Structure 1
Amino acid sequence: MNVEIVARIQFAFTIAFHYIYPPLSIGIGLIMVIMEGLYLKTGLKQYEVLTKFWLKIFAITFGIGVATGIIMEFEFGTNWAVYSRYVGDIFGSALAAEGLFAFGLESTFLGILIFGWNRVSPKVHFISTIGVFLGSMFSAVWIVVANSWQQTPAGYHIVGEGLMARAEVTDFWAMVFNPSSVDRVIHVWQGAFLAGAFMVLSVHAYYIRKGIFLEISKKAFKIALVVATIVSFSQLLSGHSSADGVAVHQPAKLAAMEGHYAKSAPADLYLAGWVNNKTQEVTGIAVPGGLSFLVYQDFNKPITGLNAFPEEDRPGQVNAVFQFYHIMISIGMFLIALTSYSCFLWWRGKLFDTKWLMWIFSFSVLLPQIANQAGWFAAEMGRQPWIVYGHLRTSKGFSQEVSANQILFSLILFLVVYSLLFALFLYSLNKKIKHGPYDDEVQDQLATI
């Protein structure tokens, strides 16, 4: 059994599972800021009730996110020792900044947010809500900066040779603002906002379908719908900008995303398809020259294809990169159509009377999560065979003393533990949703009406 493959599978599983929770925390945090801000502005008790309700769900998500994130730090040291040595100076700076500016901020204000409702003034509590939200956003910044450095290294020099080689920071801000970091941070934030907004839409669409908590759910639904509509459209801009950066700095990845093999020729833009890596053909529906137009605003402009690179320097799983990328794009376009049509019905005064739409929104919470996961898989598999693009190959980055069987054993343990954590998350989430947004005393009063 290949050590590299098993180590990659283990890390992909643990980080994919972990990434269910941080986007929800960021997105729900934004919704809570809006809800509590409306409560301070209008004085309507319903907005306070909504804030408290979603705070409970935020706390569950935050707790499991922290628990699942710790594992990855140990994996760096145990399974990816050469890589850890190589990027230690870079990641050390970024992760120290995350701990100082993000996690500390988020954790401190979370205590006030949860326990301070009757102990601090409403304005101080609102500031704490903002602090928790900003802390979650800052945490994403430093993690994405570290990952973006792997994609487009900058602000460093290499010290040592062979297994002892490592990258040292020469310009901290050049490292932070490497060529891909800003676009990717914005895109990740937007994906997180959508994850949180569609969680809120899903829960309150469920209440509306059931005919319970109608008035308060309609208010929450409208808040989340506005956020989802704005962000789903704005993702087009950040996604396009990010793709332009990939075209410049990682042309092999861009070529894999669209199954483009010709060394230098106009590239089609596929709506859907299937890549045969052996025959170097793509079967599907495409806009001729569409990729060339998006990158250069010219349908006939050549795009560098996979055959321009040695076989060992291009992604091996081209079809997988292609499919994950197009899953992300397809879901993004569907969310634009869904939110736009919903806003139209809102304007017509028919939004909450359209039962089939509420059914779609009840399960829509899955869509941003799938898109976020697919986007990361496309980005990371498209970077291969490099773990640090153009410098350190993935095949050279894993630990030399750890066997495949050892990694496989720990992977099985992670599968068991993470399955239990996920079951606990779903149980706790379901319990809070079934209980409803009001306290027990108010729930009892509503039941008698």
Structure 2
Amino acid sequence: MDAQVIARWQFGITTVYHFFFVPITIALSMLVAVLQTIWYRTGNDRYLRLTKFYGKLFLINFAIGVVTGIVQEFQFGMNWSEYSRFVGDVFGAPLALEALLAFFLESTFLGLWIFGWDRLPKKLHLMTIYAAAIGTVLSAVFILAANSWMQNPVGATFRNGRAELTDFGAVLGNPVFLATFPHQISASYMVAGGLVAAIAGWHLARLNGHDETDTSGKGDAATWRWAARFGAWVLLVASVVVIISGDFQSKIMTEVQPMKMAAAEAHYNTSDGSDFSVLTIGNMEGTEATHIITVPGLLGFLATGEWGGEVQGINDLKEQYDQQGFLRNDGSQTDLQKTFAQELKQLPTNVVPNVPVAYWTFRIMMGLGFVGMAIGAWILWATRKGRTPGPSRLWMMAMGALPFLPLLANSFGWIFAEMGRQPWIVAGVMPTWTAASPSVSAGEVWFSMILYTVVYGALAVVEVGLFMKYLKMGLPDVAPVEVIEDEDAPLSFAY
């Protein structure tokens, strides 16, 4: 493999690894804030215990997420210098705002939240976790805006040998971003809701049959039951938003990247109709497919909003590219795409992405999400009217799997989004193979990838070890929170 291929593998591995922590950070921060709000309003220590329990898990996840995210910045300069040179003026703006505004908002107020339990008035302390949670969302805003620009490069022009930003408002108003943002945020709440529900459901089942008034600690069952139902409701409500926003996103994707939609459905010829393929068998080259189970007309609705609407096929889009260059579904182009339309036709670029990868990641994403929804509904049913589920093998397996189902659905969704964009690193403007650093050898990329893998492996051991340690400890004992007036008293990590 040459350096560019290895660099792609490295970026894919590190990005997927980092993204395991992102949705938990985005949503669990707000759920912890909600739990603390309920405690602040009711004074019931049950909610303070839940706040501190899930807050500690959030902090572990946040710390590892920060460490793994730093690597992403390094790779732009190390392995993708041509990309950085070409799009730095555009891509750098949202990334700078993410670091200067969002990250410092998160870290500053999270520090105040950690050390301010007995230092800040309760209401002010509550505001710090909300500020940190808002910071995580702002971080998502700028990162998603940057990625959406790669999918649909608007608000920029070609000048002085590179892309230059002309309208930052257009970048933030990019229809891809407007569709992706609610989809990703709601998907993050599926992950956090599933995590809260699964941990609570696991503890609840272990306490089944014990007297809830037992002073030995078995009275935690009522608290775990409430948390399990709370997490399940978050999961299910977020799932509805995911489905609605995903439908909107598929239509935007069809408009700006018709080849990605065609690849997602293994839809090779426009004349094949617009049936949605539930199951397909294709050849290993990804050049043809046999649809086994289909839903008539559904693909047309997903792509255009019209049942049975026409959807362009892979072969027709490839022929169109050979004749006219990269076009959006309506035949239009952005300013940058117009600039490079003729030049790109001269390059040896295969405009068809890896169809089997696009097809199956799209379906795995949806399948995992629906299974997670089913388990969430089961939790609500099993805990209705104060019931406590027994620690059956099926229940415990479901609780063990639930946090990973929406989390992996998120990951497969992003693999689909990025692999489906290929061969472009900037759609219709810059092929991926032209963006790599020309002076970096394959051996150097191999070395850095092995080094990152070793470090990430060690971080995984630390993360899982800490997570499982505090997960098994269960709800912490809490004392009345009293604000210390002594200015000379040392700050304390109040857990």
Question: Does the CA contact (< 8 Å) of 1:324 and 1:378 recur in 2?
Answer: yes
The letter for the 2-side match of 1:242 is: Q
Describe the SS at the equivalent of 2:154: coil
CA separation in 2, counterparts of 1:342 and 1:430?
22
Q: What is the TM-score of this pair, normalised by structure 2?
A: 0.84
CA separation in 2, counterparts of 1:357 and 1:192?
24
Q: Which of the residues 243, 255, 268 maps onto 2:262?
A: 255
For residue 274 of structure 1, what is the aligned residue in structure 2?
281
Using the TM superposition, name which of 58-67 and 264-273 deviates more. 264-273
1:264 is displaced (CA, Å) by: 4.8
The letter for the 2-side match of 1:23 is: P
CA separation in 1, counterparts of 2:479 and 2:115?
19
The letter for the 2-side match of 1:256 is: A
Indicate yes or no: 2:147 matched with 1:110.
no
1:317 is displaced (CA, Å) by: 1.2
User: Relative to structure 1, is the Cα distance of residues 300 and 199 closer, same or farther in structure 2, using a 3 angstrom cutoff?
Assistant: closer
Indicate yes or no: 2:189 matched with 1:193.
yes
Indicate yes or no: 2:296 matched with 1:284.
no
Indicate yes or no: 2:437 matched with 1:437.
no
- Render the CA deviation track for 1:305-358: whole Å, top value 9, x for unaligned: 111233845333100111101000111222333323443444465463585445
User: Relative to structure 1, is the Cα distance of residues 121 and 284 closer, same or farther in structure 2, using a 3 angstrom cutoff?
Assistant: farther
1:278 is displaced (CA, Å) by: 5.0
For residue 313 of structure 2, what is the aligned residue in structure 1?
305
Question: Does the CA contact (< 8 Å) of 1:352 and 1:358 recur in 2?
Answer: no
For residue 99 of structure 1, what is the aligned residue in structure 2?
99
CA separation in 2, counterparts of 1:279 and 1:78?
35
1:208 is displaced (CA, Å) by: 1.3
Q: How does 1:114-193 map to 2 (within 5 A)?
A: 114-160=114-160, 165-193=161-189
CA separation in 2, counterparts of 1:304 and 1:192?
32
Q: How many residues align?
A: 438
Question: Does the CA contact (< 8 Å) of 1:159 and 1:167 recur in 2?
Answer: yes
Q: Which of the residues 332, 339, 360 maps onto 2:398?
A: 360
Q: Which of the residues 226, 229, 233 maps onto 2:233?
A: 226
Using the TM superposition, name which of 228-237 and 291-300 deviates more. 291-300
The letter for the 2-side match of 1:411 is: M
Q: What is the TM-score of this pair, normalised by structure 1?
A: 0.93
For residue 453 of structure 2, what is the aligned residue in structure 1?
415
The letter for the 1-side match of 2:180 is: R
The letter for the 2-side match of 1:237 is: I
CA separation in 2, counterparts of 1:423 and 1:92?
33
Describe the SS at the equivalent of 1:304: coil
User: Relative to structure 1, is the Cα distance of residues 204 and 401 closer, same or farther in structure 2, using a 3 angstrom cutoff?
Assistant: same
Question: Does the CA contact (< 8 Å) of 2:48 and 2:478 recur in 1?
Answer: no
Describe the SS at the equivalent of 1:383: coil
1:114 is displaced (CA, Å) by: 0.5
The percentage of counterpart residues that share the same residue type is 34
Indicate yes or no: 2:50 matched with 1:50.
yes
For residue 303 of structure 2, what is the aligned residue in structure 1?
295
Using the TM superposition, name which of 26-35 and 63-72 deviates more. 26-35
CA separation in 2, counterparts of 1:24 and 1:210?
25
Using the TM superposition, name which of 377-386 and 272-281 deviates more. 272-281
The letter for the 2-side match of 1:48 is: L
Describe the SS at the equivalent of 1:259: coil
Q: Which has the higher helix share?
A: 1
- Render the CA deviation track for 1:32-53: whole Å, top value 9, x for unaligned: 0221111112110110111111
- Render the CA deviation track for 1:157-205: whole Å, top value 9, x for unaligned: 0123xxxx32111011101211200111111111211111111122112
For residue 446 of structure 1, what is the aligned residue in structure 2?
none
Indicate yes or no: 2:389 matched with 1:382.
no
Structure 2: unaligned runs, 5 residues or longer: 208-217, 320-348, 481-495
CA separation in 2, counterparts of 1:272 and 1:265?
16
Question: Does the CA contact (< 8 Å) of 1:315 and 1:383 recur in 2?
Answer: no
CA separation in 1, counterparts of 2:121 and 2:114?
14
User: Relative to structure 1, is the Cα distance of residues 143 and 278 closer, same or farther in structure 2, using a 3 angstrom cutoff?
Assistant: closer
User: Relative to structure 1, is the Cα distance of residues 298 and 93 closer, same or farther in structure 2, using a 3 angstrom cutoff?
Assistant: closer
Q: Larger Cα Rg: Structure 1 or Structure 2?
A: 2
Structure 1: unaligned runs, 5 residues or longer: 443-449
Using the TM superposition, name which of 276-285 and 250-259 deviates more. 276-285
User: Relative to structure 1, is the Cα distance of residues 333 and 389 closer, same or farther in structure 2, using a 3 angstrom cutoff?
Assistant: same
Question: Does the CA contact (< 8 Å) of 2:286 and 2:354 recur in 1?
Answer: no
Indicate yes or no: 2:443 matched with 1:405.
yes
Question: Does the CA contact (< 8 Å) of 1:258 and 1:268 recur in 2?
Answer: no
Using the TM superposition, name which of 111-120 and 214-223 deviates more. 214-223
Describe the SS at the equivalent of 1:399: coil
Using the TM superposition, name which of 260-269 and 425-434 deviates more. 260-269
1:440 is displaced (CA, Å) by: 9.0
Q: Which of the residues 235, 245, 266 maps onto 2:242?
A: 235
User: Relative to structure 1, is the Cα distance of residues 84 and 215 closer, same or farther in structure 2, using a 3 angstrom cutoff?
Assistant: same
Question: Does the CA contact (< 8 Å) of 1:21 and 1:65 recur in 2?
Answer: yes
Question: Does the CA contact (< 8 Å) of 1:55 and 1:114 recur in 2?
Answer: no
